[in-house]
């Protein structure tokens, strides 16, 4: 119960986060797809909406070279690129 309460608290906080970086979008997707059991949870509709929006943002932030920067307009960097690819993979893309 204590672990579940902590996950619920983190989920609520993540849904109110205003992402600023590629990492923010990617880590939220990874949390909701790979860690947090949201099916039939009271937050499920909000989580699904957030996942759709985060996917669109990650795709919009991808640069022509196929990589991501920490922000939409910054140069390519391996760290946010790896997180973005992991997030898209968690969403079912190959």
Contact partners, residue 63, CB within 8 Å, separation at least 6: 69, 76
pTM score: 0.92
What pLDDT digit, counting tens, does each position of 15-74 carry? 999 999 999 999 999 999 999 988 888 999 999 999 999 999 999 999 999 999 999 989
Supply the pLDDT for residue 62: 97
Please answer whether residues 46 and 13 qualify as being in contact, where contact means their C-beta atoms are separated by less than 8 angstroms: no
Give the Cβ contact number of residue 60 at 10 Å.
Answer: 9
DSSP for 23-80, written as a single string:
HHHHHHHHIIIII---TT-TTHHHHHHHHHHHHHHHHHH--TTS---SSTTSPP-HHH
């Amino acid at each position: 119960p204590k672990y579940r309460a902590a996950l619920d608290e983190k989920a609520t906080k993540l849904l109110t986060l205003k992402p600023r970086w590629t990492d923010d979008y990617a880590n939220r997707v990874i949390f909701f797809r790979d860690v947090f059991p949201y099916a039939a949870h009271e937050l499920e509709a909000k989580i699904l909406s957030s996942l759709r929006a985060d996917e669109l943002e990650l795709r919009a932030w991808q640069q022509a070279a196929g990589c991501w920067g920490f922000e939409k307009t910054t140069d390519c960097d391996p760290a946010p690129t790896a997180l973005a690819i992991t997030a898209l993979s968690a969403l079912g893309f190959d």
